[in-house]
Amino acid sequence: MTVNLRLLLNKLFTTLALLSVLLIVAALIGILAPILWRGGSAVVFKDTLEFRRLQLEQFGRGDPQEIEREVHQAAEVRQRAYDLLDRFSAGLDTKDLQTKVRQVHTQVVEQFAGGDMDAQQRRTKTLSRELRDELLEALDTDDAAQAEQHLQNVLSHKDDPLLRQTAAQGFAVIAEQYHSVIKRVDLKRRAEYATALGEVREELCALLGPRLGDPQPALIEKQYGATRWDAAQQHLDRLLYAESWVEQGQGVANKKVRIPRDEQFAGTDLAALFPLLREHSSEMLLPQWTCYWQYFIDDNFSGHYLGGCGPEILGTLLITVLSIVFALPLGVVAAAHLVECAADSLFTRILRTCINTLAGVPSIVFGLFGLAFFVIYVQPRLGLPPGSSILAGALTLALLVLPVIIRASEEAIRAVPRAYREASLSLGASRFRCFVGVTLPAALPGILTGLILSMSRAAGETAPILFTAGIAMGKIPQSLAQPTRTLSYGSYDMAVGDKMAALAPHNQFGMVMTLVAVVLILNIVAIVLRGRLSKRLRGL
Amino acid sequence: MLTLQDQPRQSEAKKAIDLNEQAAASEQDPHAVTARPSPDATPVRPIIRAEKFSFFYGPKAGVRDVTMDILPQSVTAIIGPSGCGKSTFLRSINRMNDLIPHTRAHGTLAVNGVDVYDKRVNLVNLRQQVGMVFQKPNPFPKSIYDNVAYGPRLQGVRRSELGDLVEQCLRGSALWDEVKDSLHKSAMALSGGQQQRLCIARTLATQPKVLLMDEPCSALDPISTAKIEELMVSLKDTYTIVIVTHNMQQAARTSDRTAFFCLGELIEYGATKAIFTTPSKRQTEDYVTGRFG
């Protein structure tokens, strides 16, 4: 091979190596960046007045006076929307008026109650009943002309001497009120309007929260409007556009069309609501950029709809650390035995095969084993309450990562130069003290590598803790015998079925990002530690 | 358990045991052996005594039927071509050969009257009494102080006395002046010669009777070699030194007695001057004059 060819091949090899490293880095960034970016939106986002109110009332964060001021400021603008709504629904919903009509008649009857009624009083009562029926008919009918007729009938009796000084004057008031309404509202479309109005009302409540002065709903998530500006935009969109299905013909799927609600309510009072919302929504909600770092500390409300993932982080850290506490000493001692004491016998070879096989067992099998052994068999015998517990989960995870630790430790211990061992023994150390004082510290970087790998695995594993320690919702654990929420299991649960969680996708992203971040941080800490140890061993 | 001498585990200052005391002690010892007169000195009890000692790596003999006495407070050099069993013999004295699997020893190899291959011997004690310096300097990846203090700490020396002991040993190995301001620094940062002197200091810290040196200068430059040879001469008064060396000039310069090994057998053993100027065996003469090896 000529020198030039060899040089060329060298350069080619270097380029390929560089490219592969770049590829790995690109893959890493390509996978991590979207997770961190989307998840970041759970922490850094544009919040609304409702969010700030939530933080103040539920967590006591924020300046009460400032929030009070903002609430008043927004209330002014919101009131305009509510007024429009009220006016329109008054025209639509006649039940109130019907009740009032009946009340008036009852009052009239009561006025004459007690004792005998004379002929005039009886005639008054009959007239009152007639007027009541007329009015009820007017309120009920869809036909504007008929309603007009009924109302005119009622109004014609307004100055009737029979009805003077009775409560029946109330009929006239109601009749006039309703008369002005039917002029503005198309009665035939009342049913249609009623449904659409219901939708609008619901969305408005979801957007702005319950009205000031209305009774507070019991569920926390209903007590506040849209807490995030991006969620608010979605509610706004549903407010401004109605969706309906249009037939495309036989055999063809219906097509979904969006109708602007301006059109839907065209000609009515309510039509003005929508331009108002479109232009002034930011005044109603007062959006602001915020950094909700307490996301990592707070508990969540109503199934991850609101709040943070603090308990999940705690659960993940607890289980991971506990599993390492069990696995590390056991693994290092096992590796020490394999290197220092074990002769090359059949037993040792079987042992090694077992350890290697254990490394390949699927994690769900570990989970089922943990359930069968730790939860069902061991826990009652230890006097612990039955059911999932952090302890069982940690033990299961410890078994999962044990082979990794044993393998890495064994390599590390074997790699310690014989010179150290010889020097130590020749100075009069027993084999135990030689191992503990010289070999183990020198093998520490390699052992830490195993630790890093196993910590990452333990933090992210879902299947083993599915049966042994994980719950989707529940209290923060008070002891190790209780189950806990974790980031991995929580992510799975939210993705699979949690209805509330589907309404708050940022929480899902946030949880996954937190899991990645927790693992990254654990790894970085361990890597830095290992780097320092390595340096010290090399004498720098 | 037999110990070479019973070391009290406390912090009393350890002094080298007077040879007369030792002689008195071994009068009652059933394993005591009588000294063999050596040609050019007053009769002195040997500190290491080998009698038909053989060592086997599996089926192959490393050394065969070696019989020699090593006298106290002297430098004994073991020379010979590669693979002649010098290191094997040396490492047998403090049983470092135990680290190699499938080996066995025959015959007697006694230190201070106690056969080291006796089953009842306390290895920890033996190795504290018979220290070893290896060919390649092998300080621990710890600080200089911790390196020298390793042995005494194993013996249970109190922390308050450790500092003095460390200084004494570092002075003894002519390293003190160079490292006295950086005792906490890592030993791996020292140069080769300094590391070897550190290893010597570390071995001295357990206050042994015997210092075994397996080609201590072969990995070092001439200046470091010279320093270590000076060291050996100064240490001779307190310790018994047995040195294996490839360098005949070094053997000639530093040792009192020399043993010549070849192919696992002890060919000739006697005063250095005699071995180098008037060897009695033909093989010795050939080796010493450079005709082979």
Yes or no: say if B139 and B195 are a contact pair by the CB < 8 Å rule: yes
| Residue B120 is assigned to a structural domain of this protein | yes
pLDDT tens sequence across A430-478: 999 999 999 999 999 999 989 998 998 899 899 998 889 888 888 888 8
CA nearest B148 in A: which residue?
A: A427
Residues in a beta bridge with A300: A307
- Distance in Å, alpha carbon of B84 to nearest chain A alpha carbon: 22
Residues of B in contact with A437 (CB under 8 A): 150
pLDDT beyond 60 at A184: yes
pLDDT band at B39; cut points 50, 70, 90? low
Instruction: Tell me how far apart the alpha carbons of residues B249 and A427 are, in angstroms, rounded to a whole number.
Output: 29
Q: What is the mean pLDDT of chain A?
A: 86
Task: State how many domains chain B has.
Answer: 1
Q: Which of A300, A320, A325 is nearest to A311 (CA)?
A: A300
What's the domain range around B113? Answer: 34-45+63-138+209-288
Residues of A in contact with B131 (CB under 8 A): 426-427
Yes or no: say if B120 and B1 are a contact pair by the CB < 8 Å rule: yes
CB distance from B155 to chain A under 8 Å? Answer: yes
Question: Of the given ranges (A101-105, A179-183, A277-281, A435-439), which has the lowest mean pLDDT?
Answer: A179-183
- The CATH number given to whatever domain includes residue B86 is 3.40.50.300
Residues of A in contact with B203 (CB under 8 A): 426-427
Residues of A in contact with B128 (CB under 8 A): 427-428
Q: Which of A46, A47, A472 is nearest to A224 (CA)?
A: A47
Instruction: Tell me how far apart the alpha carbons of residues B159 and B145 are, in angstroms, rounded to a whole number.
Output: 12
| Residue B91 is assigned to a structural domain of this protein | yes
Rounded to whole angstroms, what are the CA distances from A430 to A337, B29, B103, B109?
15, 27, 20, 22
More confident residue, A387 or A447: A447
Strand B210-214 and strand B240-244: pairing?
parallel
Residues of A in contact with B125 (CB under 8 A): 428
Residues 142-181 of A with CB under 8 A from B: none
Say if residue B243 is exposed, middle or buried (CB neighbours under 10 Å; 0-12, 13-18, 19+). buried
pLDDT band at A328; cut points 50, 70, 90? very high
CB distance from B187 to chain A under 8 Å? Answer: yes
| Residue B155 is assigned to a structural domain of this protein | no
pLDDT band at A364; cut points 50, 70, 90? very high
pLDDT beyond 80 at A493: yes
pLDDT beyond 60 at A396: yes
pLDDT tens sequence across B185-242: 999 999 999 999 999 999 999 999 999 999 999 888 888 899 889 888 889 889 999 9
The reported pLDDT for the residue numbered B29 is 45
Residues 417-476 of A with CB under 8 A from B: 417-430, 433, 437-438, 441-442
pLDDT beyond 50 at A499: yes
A540/B186 CB distance under 8 A: yes
Q: Going by C-beta distance under 8 Å and a sequence separation of 6 or more, which residues neighbour residue A431?
A: A340, A425
B140/A420 CB distance under 8 A: yes
Instruction: Tell me how far apart the alpha carbons of residues A538 and A442 are, in angstroms, rounded to a whole number.
Output: 10
- All structural domains of chain A, each given as residue ranges with its CATH number in brackets, are 64-217+231-282 (no CATH), 306-538 (1.10.3720.10)
pLDDT tens sequence across A145-170: 887 888 888 788 777 777 776 777 77
| Residue B269 is assigned to a structural domain of this protein | yes
Residues of A in contact with B141 (CB under 8 A): 420, 441-442, 536-539
pLDDT tens sequence across A246-270: 887 787 888 888 888 877 777 677 7
A537/B141 CB distance under 8 A: yes
| Residue B27 is assigned to a structural domain of this protein | no
The reported pLDDT for the residue numbered B2 is 58
| Residue B170 is assigned to a structural domain of this protein | no
Chain A and chain B share a number of CB contacts under 8 A equal to 72
Residues in a beta bridge with A259: A242
What interface predicted TM-score (ipTM) does this complex get?
0.83
The reported pLDDT for the residue numbered B198 is 95
A424/B140 CB distance under 8 A: yes
B127/A422 CB distance under 8 A: no
CA nearest B203 in A: which residue?
A: A427
Residues of A in contact with B99 (CB under 8 A): 418, 421-422, 425
| Residue B101 is assigned to a structural domain of this protein | yes
| Residue B41 is assigned to a structural domain of this protein | yes
B134/A419 CB distance under 8 A: yes
A539/B132 CB distance under 8 A: no
State pTM to two decimals: 0.76
Of A422, A437, A438, the CB nearest to B99: A422
